[in-house]
Amino acid sequence: MSKDQFPGWHGTTIVGVKKGGEVVVAGDGQVSLGQTVIKGSARKVRRLSPGGYDVVAGFAGSTADAFTLLERLESKLEATPGQLARASVELAKDWRTDKYLQKLEAMLIVTDGADIFVITGAGDVLEPEHDVTAIGSGGNYALAAARAMMETDHSAEEIARRAMAIAADICVYTNGNLTVEKISK
């Protein structure tokens, strides 16, 4: 079966919300293969602590690819302690130029509680304009919902949870089984 014919691992929704001195990254737990839900409780948001420096990362895409990228990010953070932006740019450069890494299919949201970035295989390190970002199949739904709530009195965590609930109601590749990590600087 060729790669084009194989249904592939599908979907996920990860949202990052920065508000009130904290950043929350939330992700659903659904793993789908074609039209079938394979698992409903995957952890796609993780806390990394290279050298005692806390970073929260959420990923969408291939799990093995995402773990490869998370390991690389940890190495970059160990080489540049406390410099998430620099480590993210170094990872994006490697991802874009390394023949092996170029084939990886995933996206990351990373934060140290002060900054939040989306890292892509196209070499992008994007800082959200409105302190909200989202990736994955339900990312646009979660992004729109979270942006609509940013001017309310809701905390970052409440916004992330509500945005994920809306995405789960709309996107068939997203469920309501959340992993939520909060970090502040």
Residues forming the active site: 12
CA-based diameter of the chain, in Å? 51
- By three-state DSSP, how is residue 63 classified? helix
Q: Residue 79 contacts by C-beta under 8 Å, 6 or more apart in sequence?
A: 87, 90
Q: Pairing between strand 106-111 and 116-119?
A: antiparallel
How many whole angstroms separate alpha carbon 23 and alpha carbon 129?
A: 14
| Total residues found in the chain within this entry | 185
* DSSP one-letter code for 174: -
Phi first, then psi, for residue 56 (nearest 5°) are: -110, 135
Q: Which of 18, 47, 30, 32 is nearest to 129 (CA)?
A: 18
C-alpha angle 156/162/167, rounded to 5°?
120
A 10 A CB-CB count for 168 gives 21
